[in-house]
Amino acid sequence: MANRVQSELRKKLLDAFSNNQEEFLSGQALADLVGCSRTAVWKHIEELRKEGFELEAVRRKGYKIIKTPERVTADEIRLGLKTEFMGRHIHSEDVVDSTQKVAHRLVFEGASEGTIIIAEEQLSGRGRMDRKWHSPKYTGIWMSVILRPNLPPAKAPQLTLITAVAVVQAIEEMTGMTPEIKWPNDILLNGKKVTGILTEMQADADRIQSIIIGIGINVNQQLEDYPEELRPIATSLAIEYGKKLERAELIKVLLVKLEKLYSLYLDQGFYPIKLLWESYAISIGKNITARTITGSISGQALGITDDGVLMIEDSHGIVHHVYSADIEL
Ligand code: BTN
């Protein structure tokens, strides 16, 4: 309880700073905005300093945040976050096995919709089809998002596609570069993978209980940070954009996009998302090969169904529905 009160106060304090970014705020003004004593304000400011925030303090004027920490902290994400529920609860850790694993535990403990889990490093980051996900320290965004939509389990793949669109739009806003989506959920820049998405679900027979969407974005790695075998196929935003990006800023933009698209989807269904997804998809209209566990299908990618299933028309005019595969272009 005491912790919850402290973290609510911290959120209010950060909101006060983000709503008045150009101004100094006096201890009294902060205490009034937050609804606590000046001593409590001072204690929170000391905590922020310990986290790596730099605050300028000027006599008779008050405090102003002038620099946020190098590592991504929950408070930095809260500072200026413009969402209603996405990322409003943040669980952040330095090192974890996998943020997915932490998210599963939090789901079990009743975490609310929009809760995010972030880590600076994952020791056993995991990808689709049981692959490993390389997640070195301080370079990327390793994040899981918990959603609790009231939908049947068959709709779960649509949430992956929503997330892919949100990531593309966030990268577009931060860098001006438009990545492409390779079905179902690889995000590529110049033909190399910059983001992977892994969706895991807990469901009853007719209803989703919760969905955990794992998002891995390669942000600030340089080529030499990748193991030899990944260099031909993986890239980072910094490599493609030519300079490093503020990871906390990208997380905030992504959370805004995700909340907007998810709300649009709950309101209007999958169709508007499908159009957006297809506009970013690399493979639509092209000849591709889908390698599934039962064999390969080659032909022209026609698009996706309303359930997010890939349609491929082979040379005999037969349309195949592909649910899970690796795609070769
Ligand atoms: C893929 O392309 O195979 C999906 C990769 C998903 C990686 C992310 S990083 C955050 C979350 N935690 C994990 O262990 N995996 C996902």
Instruction: Establish whether residue 196 lines the binding site of ligand 1, counting it when its CB lies within 6 angstroms of any ligand atom.
Output: yes
With a cut of 50, list the residues of the chain below it in pLDDT.
Answer: 1
- Kindly state if the Cβ of 308 falls inside 6 Å of ligand 1: no
Choosing from 123, 142, 145 the residue with most ligand 1 atoms within 8 A of its CB, the one to mutate for a pocket test is 142
Side chain identity at 249, as an amino acid letter? E
- Identify the H or E element spanning 306: none
162: number of CA atoms within 13 Å, CB side? 28
- Could you tell me if the CB of 184 is within 6 A of ligand 1? no
Q: What is the pLDDT at residue 185?
A: 86
- Is 128 among the annotated ligand-binding positions? yes
The finding on whether 218 has its CB within 6 A of some atom of ligand 1 is no
Q: Which atom of ligand 1 is nearest to the CA of 125?
A: 14
End-to-end Cα spacing for the chain: 54
Tell me if 158 CB under 6 Å of ligand 1. no
Measured in whole angstroms, the distance separating CA 203 from the mean position of its chain's CA atoms is 22
261: helix, strand or coil = helix
The atom number, within ligand 1, closest to the CA of 135 reads 9
156-175 and 271-280 helices, crossing angle to 10°: 50
Distance 132 CA to ligand 1 centre (A): 8
Cβ of 98 less than 6 Å from ligand 1: yes
Determine whether the shortest distance from the Cβ of 163 to ligand 1 is under 6 A.
Answer: no
Q: Is 300 annotated as a binding residue?
A: no
What are the structural domains, with CATH classification, of the chain?
Answer: 2-67 (1.10.10.10), 74-280 (3.30.930.10), 287-328 (2.30.30.100)
Whole-angstrom Cα distance, residue 87 to residue 230? Answer: 31
CA 216–ligand 1 middle distance (angstroms)? 5
Q: Is 62 annotated as a binding residue?
A: no
Residue with tokens 């301080």: 138
What is the spatial distance between Cα 252 and Cα 247, in angstroms, rounded to a whole number?
9
Cα–Cα distance for residue pair 290/88, rounded to 1 Å: 39
Q: Could you tell me which residues come within 8 angstroms of residue 109 by beta carbon, excluding any fewer than 6 positions away?
A: none
Q: Which two tokens stand for residue 66?
A: 């002038």
Residue nearest to atom 10 of ligand 1 (CA): 142
Q: Is 31 near ligand 1, meaning CB less than 6 Å away?
A: no
Cα(179) to centroid of ligand 1, in Å? 18
Name the residue at shortest CA distance from atom 11 of ligand 1.
Answer: 214
Q: Which of 145, 183, 215, 235 to mutate to test the pocket of ligand 1 (most atoms within 8 A of CB)?
A: 215
26 Cα: distance to centroid of ligand 1 (angstroms): 43
Q: Pick from 271, 276, 326, 270: which is nearest to 297 by CA?
A: 326
**Centre of ligand 1 from the C-alpha of residue 161, in Å:** 15
The kind and range of the H/E element at 17 are helix 2-19
CA–CA distance, 115 with 57 (Å, rounded to integer): 33
The Å distance, Cα 275 to ligand 1 centre, comes to: 25
Q: What is residue 51's predicted lDDT score, i.e. its pLDDT?
A: 82
